[in-house]
Amino acid sequence: MCDSWAAILSELSEGHGPRIARLSKELPPDEALMVYQWVREFTFTCELLERTLNDTGVMEAAEPWLERVRNGEPMPVDTRRAVSGLHREWTRLFAEAEPVAHDWVKSQLDRPEVRERSERIGRLSAESPAAQDSGVTDINEYRERREVGKPNSPPDRSFTTG
């Protein structure tokens, strides 16, 4: 169980984490909006994945084993490796890569030229069916959805990183 989940977390963090970490916060507005969609897809995937890990009980089941690893208690080598690997990959994705992605999104929301371009595209989308197919999302929607209790609000970080 731990190995398969660790592999999924690893693939997501290795595939996207370094790319997100290298993103410029000063992209031209049109480019920032395209990248914004990709980064939001990443954060949404992270949120769904973490929710799934919690809802299916994976993290709850792993926590006592991780505590035993931390305390240096004896356990089978394969179990120690699997639980440590899950914790390592969980930390890389949810405590390292995902916060960097949220920080980048926030930095774009704070840029008036990006907000202005997003609002302009949003108006065009509302006026033209062809513009609706552009795939560009109004970034103001992100700010509204990030409020506590709304869909896609920051997930509960119940799995310890220590």
DSSP SS3 for 101? helix
Spans of all domains in the chain: 2-8+29-145
- pLDDT at residue 151, as a whole number: 45
pTM for the model stands at 0.73
Instruction: Quote the tokens at residue 37.
Output: 């969609």
- pLDDT at residue 126, as a whole number: 76
Using 70 as the pLDDT threshold, list the residues of the chain that sit under it: 128-162
CB 140 within 8 A of CB 119: yes
The C-alpha atoms of residue 59 and residue 48 are separated, in whole angstroms, by 14
In tens, the pLDDT along 66-77 reads 999 999 999 999
CB 144 within 8 A of CB 138: no
Residues above pLDDT 90, as percent of the chain:
65
- pLDDT at residue 153, as a whole number: 44
Residues 6+ apart with CB under 8 A from 53: 5, 59, 90, 159
